Amino acid sequence: MRSVYRLLMSQYRLVIAVDVLLAAGILALVGKPGYAQALIVAFSVLVAAILLAGMIRNMWRGEYGVDILAVIAIVSTLVVGEYWATIIIVIMMVGGEALESFAQARAKAELSALLARAPRYAHKQMIDGSLRDIPIHEVKNGDLIVVRPGEVIPVDAEIVMGDSSLDESSITGESEPVDVHIGQEVLSGAVNGESPLVLRTLRIARDSQYAQIIELVQAAGDSRAPFVRMADRYAVPFTAVALAIGGIAWWVSGDPRRFAEVLVVATPCPLLIAAPVAMISGMSRAAKHGIIIKNGGVLEKLAIVRTAAFDKTGTLTQGELAFDELLPAKGVDELTLLTLAASLEQHSGHVTALALQREANRRNVDLLPATKVTEIAGGGVKGTIARRITIAGKREFLIKNGVPAASIPAHHHTATYVAQSKKYVGCISYADVVRTDSKKTLADLRRLGVRRFVMLTGDHASTAAQIARQVGITDIHAECLPKDKLEIVRDFSIRPVMMVGDGVNDAPVLAASDVGVAMGARGSTAASESADVVIMLDSISRVALAVNIAQRTIRVARQSVLLGIGISIALMIIAAFGLIPAVVGALTQELVDVIVIANALRAHSGAQTKIV
């Protein structure tokens, strides 16, 4: 008996049900209707018992579904002798499950593709120049690996030899190939184009971009949204309505067949799977656009977000400092200041030094030779230019090296201070560049129903205010520590609250927000792990797109549930007048199930996701 039960619970249950129908039909045609009825009764009772057992388990867990209607419909049709309607109801039940499996498989196509393409081996270049294939988990930082044309880059790395183009669609959502050259960092998961590349590993496999995406995808696949539980609550009134209509039809007509005919068209087997199918479809659609939603429950909250809070650096801005202005001391010209600073910092890899070099190159500045150059982490650079000791760095660094504090003005923005022979020369200020799509993203969110916009940043108030004005935010909280951001978000009265950030310091507030969104393309792993949504493309516009997809998904899910219930109630009323025989009603309900699931799959099409 146990083996029969397992077989009936397997993916072959639909095939078995169809076989029973065919066998019963053959028996009826050869003049043995009694055997046909016995076969149908035995099989249907067994299926009803399985459904009843599952229903009891769900009720024990506090979950109330509509399987009770299916059980009652099977039993009532058997009692009144409508055996053929009974077997059609059973086929409809298992057929609905098969349709659900198909729908989920289609909706998860993009997510599954990420797992299927995960690299397992890397071509390690040995000391003698030969290649050896090693498991990806054995690749260490600093290893040289070769990626051939058409292969997936296995770990995050830097190009040391070769030029090529990469297909980054699986990790960023962008279909356009990206040209890469020596010295550039490339992310795991991208597919190499026409030329082989020699790479130096920057991060081991488990810390690389592709591994993070896969972990997020796996976390996204096994969730159940609160909206689905809300949809389940339709089951209780729907069941009550169906039993009431069936009972009244039986009482008025005096014919128990009317009760069975009503419940046949009320059987909503896959009716309420519309919500989970829509959820999975929406999550898949988001993944296709480089948006990983960790669980289905986030979709409902994301669809009704009313407050959006943003970190500044790396979120509203590019996170890369750009040259702002030259502020020479009295009696010093701008060219002298820029020449001294750029000459001293020409070999530094600090972000301010890189911005300084770009500006010097733009102005075609002739750099001077600098000797005895030393760089103090967190302080600045010290060296000799034209036989004079020159220093550049933080204000405190200059003071520590003997430059009088009174001669150095204090600035509330990022700056490089320069001195020569202990005499202050001037400073160079930098600014964080606002993303080109930040202002439009906020405008899109406003159209989508977000009512309040807030900036939370650890930066100086003046810098924060400058960026906020450019993007259109008036509610600013500057110089915030992680705990400050946490307390501010918790005190928001207009909810749900969506927090968007990218750094380690954003991880606590992302976890505490109603919806935490991490800019994960270049951001912190801690932020991505704490967030509910991870934007894998380095574009803030995906935040508005995520809200748009969520709203469409929830709308389609609700429409699908109500559509199925509405059609079923209409059919029940018609059946109550005896206008729909039990067999016809069973076949009609199967068509309803197909319509509902097809409607739910519209969440995957994303016709309204062209917001950016």
Q: Where are the domains of the chain?
A: 120-212, 278-317+435-551, 319-433
Give the pLDDT score at 222. 47
Share of the chain above pLDDT 70, in %: 79
Residue 45 has pLDDT above 50, yes or no: yes
DSSP annotation of 421 reads: T
Residue found by looking up tokens 């790479």 in the block: 199
Any bridge partners for residue 146, and if so which? 123, 198
pLDDT tens digits, one per residue of 476-516: 998 887 788 888 988 899 999 999 987 656 767 887 789 98
Give the pLDDT score at 199. 94
- In CATH terms, 319-433 corresponds, of 3.40.50.2300, 3.30.499.10, 3.40.1110.10, 2.70.70.10, to 3.40.1110.10
Give the pLDDT score at 612. 46
pLDDT tens digits, one per residue of 68-104: 777 777 788 888 787 777 777 777 667 656 655 554 4
Give the pLDDT score at 250. 92
Confidence of residue 228 (pLDDT cuts 50, 70, 90): very low
What CATH code is assigned to 120-212? 2.70.150.10
pLDDT tens digits, one per residue of 533-589: 888 888 899 999 999 999 999 888 888 888 888 888 899 899 999 898 888 887 787
- Residue 427 has φ and ψ, to the nearest 5°, of -140, 160
Give the pLDDT score at 107. 43
Q: Distance from CA of residue 324 to its chain's centroid?
A: 36
Using a 10 angstrom Cβ sphere, with 0-12 exposed, 13-18 middle and 19 or more buried, the burial of residue 259 is buried
Confidence of residue 267 (pLDDT cuts 50, 70, 90): low
Confidence of residue 60 (pLDDT cuts 50, 70, 90): confident
Rounded Cα gap, residues 60 and 43, in angstroms: 26
pLDDT tens digits, one per residue of 410-420: 876 778 999 99
* Contact (CB, 8 A) for 202 and 187: no
Domain 278-317+435-551 and domain 319-433 have a common topology: no
- In CATH terms, 278-317+435-551 corresponds, of 3.40.50.1000, 1.10.10.10, 3.10.20.30, 3.40.50.2300, to 3.40.50.1000
Strands, sheet with 197-201, edge to edge from the N-terminal-most edge strand = 131-135, 121-125, 144-147, 197-201, 157-161, 185-186
Single pTM value for the model: 0.64
Rounded Cα gap, residues 13 and 94, in angstroms: 7
